[in-house]
Structures are given as structure tokens and as C-alpha cells.
Structure 1
């Protein structure tokens, strides 16, 4: 009985939970209307290839999507697009109406099969793009569900065999169809021959020296008064009655035959199309499942376009810290929108934003709400990369809530919305209220506003509210869990700047604005007499504070712009420097290839000399041997340069800045030692009592405590011995990892890998050798130079692993 009671209570709790979740989902419809979510969604939908992606985007909400996974897919596809471009739009043609006809047992026409063919070829191209894309970690990659899309080569081949480029069934689709059409053509030629003979023999009886077609039969325009002179059938007359459409007796049998052949052709075409329809029907469920994948993929690519073309940021929701940096409202044109910055740390519960009307408070609240809802629904947002979005449910009271239909005043409408928000909100929520306490007597409105704020604080619900009310303003300034903010305002021009100033209250500027818009100064002077002296003093203090803060903010923005320009230039220079290093390595490699060619030539010359019977060539042989030794020495020098450039590219400046007393490790080893002296170009390192002279580029500076005390760091300083993967002839992954191997071990594994690549569908392979000193990479390149199976090889692009990867082309 006791257990039954516990189960019953749990069932009630579960029911209550389900009801609350249902209420949240229902509230989402109200929220979307308040923050103009659907208008914003249309901006994303314009980047979709077809209706498939639009449907997918429309379906998303914070309650039916794993935002972390969705945004990780978007991030991955951004890298994919930057490296490979966008896939063909044909892969996203909406062929569902055609598939529905097939499901309903209806005959699909040739033009529809032509569209289906475009779609299937597009899908094949899409699969190939992803199949050839090297991704180090395939465990949770978008490539996983893309490669689940089926192979439809058999259907593609059959449609191509049957349907021509105009959507017509080909003559070669069946032997019977070919024979029918050949016979039809012969019959048609015979009809035209007889028509021409008839015209030449009876020109005087015809209205025109031509033929026409009536009721699918070839007829001639005969003069009505000449009908009795001819044998045949009349199929109609002109509107005036002066012309009869006459089928001569000698054409009747041929016209009958033509009609029969036409019917036979239609039957055979229908049979072929039915057979083709049946072939598609056999894969119908697979196609419908793949369309669901393509629907999602279209939506993901739309988000990628939004990131690349609109400058959107991928912000993964999580935690309890709200920070929006340079957040822009998606519906305001780029040349007019003013980005906002706002921050609600975990140790604070709310923000109270004050300031004059038309200062941008409402737009700011909508921007905050949209940013949270969009990020939680798996969308990139228009904000800076330092932004942080908590995984909060959003509840709002924004805009005019007056409703004539429901007999609600503005104040009543606000209270209805706030009451609903308070009922649903919890610690994992944020409540956004515009003009809290407005629409009623300011004195009572202030009291209600403070009561709502205290309730939110007591329940530890995060909130952001805007208000004009001085008591609320003063309350927020004195509460340690609240942040006071204001909308920036230019006191000189009396115009808003639409930016949020954190930790500073805002003045109303009511008198200044009233004067600007023409209210008589005498009225304003009288009005000031009714103000409390303390109120006036506080307002003046706030105005002066706002002015100074505004000036500081302007200076801060200028400095930020300068810093941003500097960082951009720094990144550009670093990238150029890195590219120059890689170019230098490739130049060294080219030089090595030329030297090898010279050595091979010298060997051939030497063999010819040794085989010659008529020359005393001891001196010549010695000379050629000396030349070869010089070339070998040249190779060693170039390889040493190559290793040095590898070293400079692989390690950071801090890791390379080695001094006496520093702890170091060999880049391609595991031993840890201490630098005891530096002699010229060599470093003296004590490895547990054994002192060695080592070139600086063979060493990497480390922090000793991390190596001794942290097992995980120890593993990071070592190059792990990762065994290369041996693939069967059915190679599924076009990469091999040879990090930690010797050059000899790596070359052996790479030979096997290339063999298997040749037997697979891959034409490109990726050899992961890491950066290190460059010795392993140099050894691999030495081997590849002599491998006739390799058409070309190069370092990986940044998205492929950079100089830590060699890309080979067979």
C-alpha cells in the first residue's frame, strides 16, 4: 500500500511536469508573436535551397532540438563550406509531390522523371562531396548522417536509359517501342508522299496546296463545289463553308494504320513508365527517409549562409551567465542597427534599465529575447563571439498589451502577461518586462513594480525590466543583487544613441525633450515648481553622471576599434608568415627533387663509363663520385633547412625560447632534462646525469611541475605510439596516422595504405604525421618523391591539419 502511494505521488508529479512542459510549449507560440520571431525566421529561410529547409527551420524550437549538437553541425559545415563551397541545389529539389504520385499508384510522366533524375544526381554529388572530405573525428560529425543517404545509381542509370533530355521516352527504351516508332515514321513518310502526289494531280480542286490534320488524320482543303469529283471522306468544313477538309480514299488505310501505331506507342510508353515507376517504388521508403535528412541538411546550410554572409556567431547555450556583446536586432538594416552590450552575471538576479522614451529599451529587450530563443533553437545569432547564452526559458511582457476584444486596458494587459510569466518562470528562466509599472497611477504603479521585482528576487528568477519610475530606479541602485543600467542619451542633441550603459542609472530628460518639441518655457518653469527638491537633485546628478559615462564609452569604443584593427592586422601578418614558411618548405622539396634527378643522371653516366672498354676512366670515375658526394651533402643541407622550418612552424615562441635552467624535452622523444649551458649553436642538456649537446630545434621547453605531477600533461609532452591502421581492400577512411613511428615504420605502413587507396574509391589520401621536428615528415616526403603511384603531394590546408598532414593525390 505504501509503495502504491509512492507510485501514485510520482505519477502525479510526472503529470504535473508534463502539464508544465505543455504550458511552456504553448507559451512559445505567444512569445514568438511578441518578439516577432516569425519575421526573423524568414531572414534565415531566404538562405534555404528549397521548401525542404524552410519546413525544417519552421519546426525548430527550444523544446524539440538539441541546440549543442545542432550548432556543432553548423560550425562543422562552416569549415566544410569555406574549404569546399556549397553543394549543388539540385540535391534539395522538393520531389515529394512526385513520390506521392508513386505512393498513390499513379503514373509518373517523363518530365517528372527528368526532375527526379536531377534530384538523384544532385544527391549523389552531395554524397561524393562528403565522402571525399577528411574529418579527423567522425564520431559525432554531420558526415555521419549525410553518408546514410542511399545510393541510387541503379535508378539514375535506368532513368537515363529511358528518358531523354526533353523528358520524352527514348526509342531505345524497348525493342518494341523502337519498332513501333520506326513503322510509324515509315507510314508517315508514305502518307506525305501520297499527299504531295494528290496535290500535284488536283491543284485546281484545292483551296491551298497544303495539308492539315483533323481528328488525328491527314486531310486536304478541297473547294466545296468540287467535292463530287473526288472519292473519300469529309471530316469538316471551314466556318464559311467554302472549304471541306477531305481525306482522299488512298489515305484512309494509312491514316488508320498511323492511328493504331500511335495507340500502340502510347501503350508501350505507359508500360515503360510504369516499370520505371515500379523501380522507384521499390526504394520509396528509403527516398522518403533520405528526404528527411536532406530537409535537415538544407536547414543547416541555410544557417551556415547566415553565419558567412550576415556575420552571425555560433553561441552554444549553457550555464547561468548572460552576456551579449555587439548584439544586433535581425530586422533592423545593417546600416541603421546599433549593437548592444549587456551582461547579467551568475551572482546577480536582475537588471533595471532606465532612460527616456524612444531610447531603444523595447528593441533592446526584443534583441535579448530573440538572441536567447534563437540560440536555444539551434540558430546562429547576430552577436560578438564573446557572447554567452544561458539555457533559459524566456517569458516576456513587451509592447502594447491593450486588447479591445478581451476588454483589457493597457495596464490590465500588462498584468495578464506578467501573471502568466510569474506562474511559469523558475530558476531556469529569464523574465523580460518592458515599462514595468506603467499604464496606471505612478505611485501605485511603482509599488506594484517593486512587489513584482521582490517576488522575482525571492524565487531567484533572472529578469531584465525597463522603467521610468524613480522609486524602482532608486531600489535597483541600492540592491546588491540588481544591476542598474540606462540607455545612452546625448544631452547636447537630446537624441538617443540606442546603446546600453551598464551600472549607471538613466535620467528621463522629460523637460529637455518637452522643450525641444515646442512646449512653452513658462509652462516648463511652472512644472518645475511642482517637483520635489530631492528629486531634482537626483536627476541632475544622474544627468551629469550619464554625460561623463557617455564620453568614457565613446573613448572606449574608439580604443576597441583601434585594438580590433591591430588584432586583425596581427592575424593577417601571422597568416602570411605561416604561408611563407610553408611555401619555403615546398621550395626546399622542389630543390631536393632536382638534386635527386642530378644524382640519377650522374649514376647513369658513371655506369656508362664503367661499361666502356676504350677509356681509361679512373680519374673520371673519381671525379663523378666526388660530384655525387657533393650532391648528397647538398641534400642533407636542404633536409636540415626543411626540418628547421618545420620546427619554427610547429612550436610556439614560448616553447622555443630556451635558457639555462629551463626544463626541456626532446620534441621527438620522451626524455626530460635540464639546460645547464649554451655553447654557440648547441644546448647542453643534463638528462639524469648524462649530458648531451643538442641542437635547439630538437628541444621543446616545458613546465616541470606539470610534467611531474600531472599524468595527463605527461601524456601531452610525449608523442604517443599510435599504431597505424591497416585497412582492408574495402577502405572506408582515406587517412592514416603515423605519429610516433620511426621513418622506416611509417614508410612501410604508408606503402600498404597507398596500395589500399588504389583499390578503393578514394583518389586523395591524408597522412597524419604531426609537426614535431619535421624529421618524420621529411622522411615521408623523401619516400613519396620516388613513388610512381603518387601524382602529387602537398601540406594540408588549415582545415585539413596544416603542416601536420601530408595530402597525397593518386
Structure 2
């Protein structure tokens, strides 16, 4: 019974959602997302989403992961997103599909293959990325792809060598056709006087000659028709009849064999129909997800995970307003507040504000990115609205009556997990009574703890919101000098109506305005003037605040760019150090060879020369150690944060290249004394990493790997020029890399990618130490940003 009631409730919410979508122009907003879809598949998927049928966290996680993927790997081709469902319907119905349909299927299945491979070979997503498990559901259709390519040519025609019989039929057909044409050409050469034209033609699928009507008796054969003027008779010569018969028989045999081949090819698709249909559902979703990714990247949208009841829109833009004209909206309804009362003059943007709030919440809860800042917060609240003119001629409702009907419906459905949006609350009737009704509605919402945002012109409602500790007052910014709206929201300040100023601007005579002022209550005038004064001050402060925020954004951007450049410089420096290290190794090897020659020489006068060479080697070794230390220092600063590098007495630490945990007990000079379970060691701080509670627990629980002796086995030739060694120990990784390089040397690849991740840097350091001594390697470096950055080492053989 409870499940039934829940189902009825969801159905009623979905039904009401359709009403809301119409009121806030949601279909037009959705079109801005559908524009980025590859095909109708993605459009259908986006249309199907609503807050009650989508796992929003999973959906937005997919979008976030695909954004990272696209920024490195680029967008996939559109081939996998071709809508082949009409063709599959023919297959399912037992109909024979033609060559052009097979070309579409081939393009579609090849697109799936390319898509699978692009995700398989990517270097940005880790193996735990949820979107990888999603894409991995796509099937392998190599058998069908190869079968179609072997049978259908680029024009959609069945190839001659699709079968032995078809090739035999077509060869015989071509030979017969050559014989027919040869005989007809000879006949034309010897009977020019009886022919209307010196050529042959085809009538009723048979080769015939155009004979003059008055000469028809001179040629034996079958008449196949007359020209429209009656001057030409089309005759099939008697000696050509058997050959035409043979051509017809061969054409029928060809058609029969082609049908057999296509039926066999169709059956291969039929056998995989269930998998293909399943994949189309995956591709439908993937198309929609990539459309959202394009929206994020091209429109600078944000991925906001909905949670709680805290509403905050930062620099939110309505999707239907042109980017050059839209004014970003900032509005906030904290969790401990119940409602916002927004005031201000007409045409100030209050309705657009409500629509922006509504469409942002519905979009986010349906799994869409939105045009807003990253600091925005979207609540998990159901939306109920009364926005726009609710007048209805058919239902005989006035504007006021229409508003009341909508509000009553919202109050019937809303609960403490809802957000009610009401435009121009209390309007459309006498202002005095309208104010009373508006206050009654607000008090009802407050009593039932229903969140709300309302707009109004009514002064009593402004005053009520200013005095209530659970309500927030806001207004639409207005320029009193130009008498024009600025469309920005000013929080915690009521708005003046500016009715007199606006009336004067649009030509209402001063005499009428003076008479009108006499009818204003003195208290009302004072309140309006106070509000105008506050508005002006707040407007100036908001302008200054926006300037400071822009300065902060510029600073943050510059800081981020600087950090990225600095990191690249450090990586470059590390590579320079490593190059220097390799040169030192070469010098040491040369010195050792020279020393061996000296020792073996019979002309060695004394040990002096040997000592000299040893001294040179010792100097090179010392230089080697210095360079190694520089590399380790740069690696340490690159992968270890400032917080992890700040070591104090009492901190839990581990060695930069180790996992054992110890505690800093004191400092001696420039070294820290670390207690590793009773064993105290003096270590330089730059060799240590401070460990947080979470990492400490993970390291403590991590199982040890017993050392085992392994034998190298050369496997099959490489199909991919990359190897993933993340999660391995240095020893395990080195062994795998040795095998990988052996296979790389025997393959057509000249470059290889070793994916080791960033982590602590220990694995990367160990791998580089190993590569340094490997003479098979011509050069190696960290990956560029599009290759995985410092998480990947690129080797050249």
C-alpha cells in the first residue's frame, strides 16, 4: 500500500513538473543542451530526464569524468551515434536489408569500435573511473565489421568476390554482354541503310536495334515497340535472342545469389540484435553525456551536485538570454532561513530571477550542468510555482483569480521539502487587501516550514520581511540617475518602487505627479525615501564588491597559471638533471674503461696514473650523488604539498620513498629524529612526508608483498604501446617494464608510454633510476599535459 501511495505521489509530482516546465520555458532551455547532441539518440535521452528518474550524483560524476577525458583526448567521432534503429527494425521483422543500409551499419559498428578503443587507450581516467565501467559494456563487433567489408563495397554494392558463385555468374554475364555488343556492332556496320540510328538500345530489358519502319521486313527478329512518331521500330535480331535470354537468366541468378549473400549477412546482425539494442541504450546516454560536456566546456557551465536545503546561486545566467546581454544573478537562501522577499520596480528582472532559480534547480536535479559559478549550491527540494500572467478567458479567471488558483494548488502539494516561487504576490487586486492576502500566504508558508521566494511591490510585505528573523529581504538593483534597472540582486535590502520617477521619465506631467504626492501617506513617503537611500548605498557597495571579486578572480587565475608554469619548469628542471646524470654515468663508464686499459698496459710506470684516474672517478661519483640529490629534491617538491612538507615534533611521518610510519620526537640541528617502533633515526626533513590520519590507516592496513622470484617470459607482439604499472612496487614495475621494452623493440612502435601515476613519486623515481642504465632506451621524458603529465613516462627506443 505504501509503495502504491509513493507511486501516486511521484506521478503527481511528474505531472506538476510538466506544468512548471511550460511556465519557465524549459523546452526552449532543453534545446540549448540538445543542440550539442550527435544525433536523435542523445536528444531522446536528454528529453527523458527529470528529478524523479535519474541518479543525479552518478550522472554528474559521469559528466565530470568525461570533461577530463575530452580536455585530453578530444571528442569522439559521431559515427557510433548514428541512429540505425529503423534498419534494425527491418532486421527484426525478417526483411532483407540492402547495401546502403549495410554501409550505415558498418559505419555505426566501426564507430563503436573506435569509441571503445579511445577509452581503452586513454591515459587520463583511472581504472576506478565509473564512466569506464559504463563504456566497457559496449560489445565487440569485429566479426560483423569484417564480414560487411568483405561483401559490400564503398558504394553499397555487393562485391564480385563476395562468393565463388557470384564471381562466376558475373564473369559469364560480362562475357555474354561483350558478345552481344560485338554482334550488334557488326550488324550495324553491315546494315546501315535499314537503321534509323547507328546504335543499339535496350527495350524490355533486351538489346534491340532502331529500324526504319518502312524497312522492317528486311530484318528477322522480334518487335519490341514503336517510337512515338511511328517512324522507328525496335527489333531484337534473331541471332541475338538466345544471348538476350542468357543475359536475363544470369541477371536472375545474380539477384538470387546477392539475396542469399545479403540474407546471410543480415543473419549475423540478427544474431547480435539483443547486444546491439543494449549498446544503443548505452550510446543514447553517452551521446547525452557528451552534449553536457560540450555545454560545460563551450558555455563555461558548472557541475553542481544537489544536496540539502541550502540555495545559493553564484553568477547564475538564464540560458535563453544572449551571453552579451545576460546579467549574472547572485542570490542566497541559507538553510536556517525560510524565505526571500524580493522587491523592486517593474521590468527590473524579478520574473527572470524566479525563472532562473526554477530552471537551475530542475536542471541540476535532472543531472545537467548549469550556467552558474562553482560555488553555487542547489537544494534537494521540489519546485512549485506561480509565475507569469495566470489570466484565463476559457476558465473565466481574472489575473488575480488565476494567481490564487496556482497558489492554492502549490499549497496543497508543497511540504517542508519544497520550494515555492511566487511572482508578484498580492497583485491584481486592491493593494490594501492584496497586502493582507500576501501576508497571510507568507505566514502560512512560514508556519508549515515551506521554503519560498516571492516577488512583490507591496510596502507592508516589505516591512514584514524586514522584521521577521526567518526571512531574507532582497531587491533588484535600480539606477536612480538613469532610472533604468540593472537586473542584479541586492541581498538584505528592500527595493523602492520608483513609481513617480519612472512615470516622470515616460512623460507624465509634473502637475499630475504633484497632485499624486498629496495623496501619499507621510509615513509611506518616509519609508520609500529611506529605502531609496539604502538602495543607493548598497548599490555602491555592490559595485565595489564586484570589482574586488573580479580582482580576486584575476588573481586566482594568474596564481593557477603561475603554479602550472612553475610545475612545468620543475619537471623540465628534473629532466635536465636526469640528462646530466646520464652524461655523468657515461663519463664514469669511460673512466673505468680507461683505468682497465691502464692496468693492463705493460708500459705503466707507476701507480700514480691509476691513483689519478681513481680520483677522477671519485669526483664523478660525487657529482653523480649531487645531481641525484637535486632530482630527488625537485621530485619531492613536485609531488608533496607544502602542508605535507611542514614537519613538527609529534607528527606522524613516513619516508618519501617508503611506507613505514614513525613519529617525530625531536630535532637535532638540520635533522629530525624519527621513532620507527623503537628504532630512532636521524633524517633530513626533506626526506619525510607528514601523514594524515586517513593515509596512516591505509598504510597500516596495506598487506605486504612477499618477495618471489619470477622468470621473464616473452609474450606475443605488442598491440598497444603503453603499459600501466600503477599499484605495483618498484621491483614489480621494473620487471614488467623490461618485458615491455623487449616487446617494444620487436614491434613497429618507436615510442612507449609507461603509466605510473603521480602518487608519492617513489614509483616514478625508481623507474627513472632503472631507465637510466638501460642502453636500449634512446631517450625518455615525462608526458606532456595531453599525454598524462608527470603521471606518465614516455620512452623512445
TM-score higher than 0.5? yes
Tell me the SS of whatever aligns to 2:626.
Answer: helix
Tell me the SS of whatever aligns to 1:246.
Answer: strand
Equivalents in 2 of 1:616, 1:105: separation in Å?
97
Equivalents in 2 of 1:426, 1:506: separation in Å?
29
Tell me the SS of whatever aligns to 1:127.
Answer: helix
Tell me the SS of whatever aligns to 2:725.
Answer: strand
Equivalents in 1 of 2:738, 2:411: separation in Å?
68
Which residue of 1 is the match for residue 149 of structure 2? 160
Tell me the SS of whatever aligns to 1:165.
Answer: coil
Compared with structure 1, are the counterparts of its residues 15 and 107 closer, same or farther at alpha carbon in structure 2 (3 Å cutoff)?
Answer: closer
Deviation at 1:664, TM superposition (A): 6.3
1:710-741 CA distance string (max 9 Å, x none): x54643798966659999989999533457x5
Compared with structure 1, are the counterparts of its residues 660 and 461 closer, same or farther at alpha carbon in structure 2 (3 Å cutoff)?
Answer: closer
Deviation at 1:252, TM superposition (A): 1.4
Deviation at 1:639, TM superposition (A): 1.7
8 Å CA contact 1:662, 1:675 repeated in 2 = no
Deviation at 1:224, TM superposition (A): 1.7
Which residue of 2 is the match for residue 365 of structure 1? 354
Equivalence map 1:501-516=2 (5 Å) = 501-516=490-505
Check if 1:146 corresponds to 2:128.
no
8 Å CA contact 1:132, 1:764 repeated in 2 = no
Deviation at 1:799, TM superposition (A): 8.7
Which residue of 2 is the match for residue 448 of structure 1? 437
Which residue of 2 is the match for residue 31 of structure 1? 20
Check if 1:169 corresponds to 2:194.
no
Equivalents in 2 of 1:629, 1:34: separation in Å?
83
Equivalents in 2 of 1:712, 1:622: separation in Å?
54
Deviates more, 1:277-286 or 1:711-720: 711-720
Tell me the SS of whatever aligns to 1:531.
Answer: coil
Which residue of 2 is the match for residue 335 of structure 1? 324
Deviates more, 1:658-667 or 1:221-230: 658-667
8 Å CA contact 1:172, 1:178 repeated in 2 = yes
Which residue of 2 is the match for residue 208 of structure 1? 197
8 Å CA contact 2:756, 2:764 repeated in 1 = no
Which residue of 2 is the match for residue 683 of structure 1? 671
8 Å CA contact 1:20, 1:424 repeated in 2 = no
Equivalence map 1:390-429=2 (5 Å) = 390-429=379-418
Compared with structure 1, are the counterparts of its residues 167 and 785 closer, same or farther at alpha carbon in structure 2 (3 Å cutoff)?
Answer: farther
Compared with structure 1, are the counterparts of its residues 332 and 321 closer, same or farther at alpha carbon in structure 2 (3 Å cutoff)?
Answer: same
Equivalents in 1 of 2:535, 2:452: separation in Å?
23
Which residue of 2 is the match for residue 560 of structure 1? 549
Check if 1:715 corresponds to 2:697.
yes
Equivalents in 2 of 1:105, 1:73: separation in Å?
38
Tell me the SS of whatever aligns to 2:756.
Answer: strand
Check if 1:278 corresponds to 2:260.
no
Equivalence map 1:64-463=2 (5 Å) = 64-134=53-123, 138-139=127-128, 141-463=130-452
Query: Which residue of 659, 662, 676 corresponds with 1:671?
Result: 662
Deviation at 1:404, TM superposition (A): 1.2
Deviation at 1:753, TM superposition (A): 8.0
Equivalents in 2 of 1:208, 1:799: separation in Å?
69
Deviates more, 1:51-60 or 1:622-631: 622-631
Equivalents in 1 of 2:745, 2:633: separation in Å?
33
Which residue of 2 is the match for residue 767 of structure 1? 756
Equivalents in 1 of 2:356, 2:667: separation in Å?
60
Deviation at 1:686, TM superposition (A): 6.3
Deviates more, 1:613-622 or 1:110-119: 613-622
Deviation at 1:211, TM superposition (A): 1.7
Equivalents in 1 of 2:585, 2:741: separation in Å?
22
Equivalents in 2 of 1:177, 1:328: separation in Å?
64
8 Å CA contact 2:195, 2:212 repeated in 1 = yes
Query: Which residue of 752, 768, 783 corresponds with 1:781?
Result: 768
8 Å CA contact 1:771, 1:804 repeated in 2 = no
Equivalents in 1 of 2:707, 2:521: separation in Å?
82
User: What count of residue pairs does the alignment treat as equivalent?
Assistant: 785
Instruction: Give unmatched runs, 5+ long, in structure 1.
Output: 1-10
Tell me the SS of whatever aligns to 1:48.
Answer: coil
Deviation at 1:400, TM superposition (A): 0.6
8 Å CA contact 1:110, 1:163 repeated in 2 = yes
Check if 1:493 corresponds to 2:479.
no
1:382-423 CA distance string (max 9 Å, x none): 000000000111000000111112221111111111111111
8 Å CA contact 1:737, 1:769 repeated in 2 = no
1:772-805 CA distance string (max 9 Å, x none): 5x5x533321213445787875435669875455
> Normalised by the size of structure 1, how large is the TM-score?
0.90
8 Å CA contact 2:672, 2:685 repeated in 1 = no
8 Å CA contact 1:103, 1:281 repeated in 2 = yes
Deviation at 1:756, TM superposition (A): 10
Equivalents in 1 of 2:51, 2:592: separation in Å?
72
Deviation at 1:671, TM superposition (A): 2.1
1:274-299 CA distance string (max 9 Å, x none): 00000110000110011000000000
Deviation at 1:191, TM superposition (A): 1.2
8 Å CA contact 1:437, 1:445 repeated in 2 = yes
Compared with structure 1, are the counterparts of its residues 215 and 713 closer, same or farther at alpha carbon in structure 2 (3 Å cutoff)?
Answer: closer
Deviation at 1:206, TM superposition (A): 2.0
Equivalents in 2 of 1:789, 1:127: separation in Å?
32
Provide the alpha-carbon RMSD of the alignment: 3.3
Tell me the SS of whatever aligns to 1:326.
Answer: strand
8 Å CA contact 1:734, 1:757 repeated in 2 = no
Which residue of 2 is the match for residue 544 of structure 1? 533
Instruction: Give unmatched runs, 5+ long, in structure 2.
Output: none
8 Å CA contact 1:224, 1:242 repeated in 2 = yes
Compared with structure 1, are the counterparts of its residues 136 and 82 closer, same or farther at alpha carbon in structure 2 (3 Å cutoff)?
Answer: closer
Tell me the SS of whatever aligns to 1:671.
Answer: strand
1:269-320 CA distance string (max 9 Å, x none): 0110000000110000110011000000000000000000011100000111
> Normalised by the size of structure 2, how large is the TM-score?
0.91
Deviation at 1:232, TM superposition (A): 1.7
8 Å CA contact 2:757, 2:790 repeated in 1 = no
Compared with structure 1, are the counterparts of its residues 252 and 599 closer, same or farther at alpha carbon in structure 2 (3 Å cutoff)?
Answer: farther
Equivalence map 1:697-736=2 (5 Å) = 697-700=686-689, 712=694, 714-715=696-697, 723=705, 735-736=724-725
8 Å CA contact 2:648, 2:664 repeated in 1 = no
Deviation at 1:606, TM superposition (A): 6.5
Equivalents in 2 of 1:612, 1:226: separation in Å?
114
Compared with structure 1, are the counterparts of its residues 297 and 504 closer, same or farther at alpha carbon in structure 2 (3 Å cutoff)?
Answer: same
Deviation at 1:225, TM superposition (A): 1.7
Which residue of 2 is the match for residue 521 of structure 1? 510
8 Å CA contact 1:411, 1:440 repeated in 2 = yes
Compared with structure 1, are the counterparts of its residues 626 and 112 closer, same or farther at alpha carbon in structure 2 (3 Å cutoff)?
Answer: farther
Deviates more, 1:133-142 or 1:80-89: 133-142
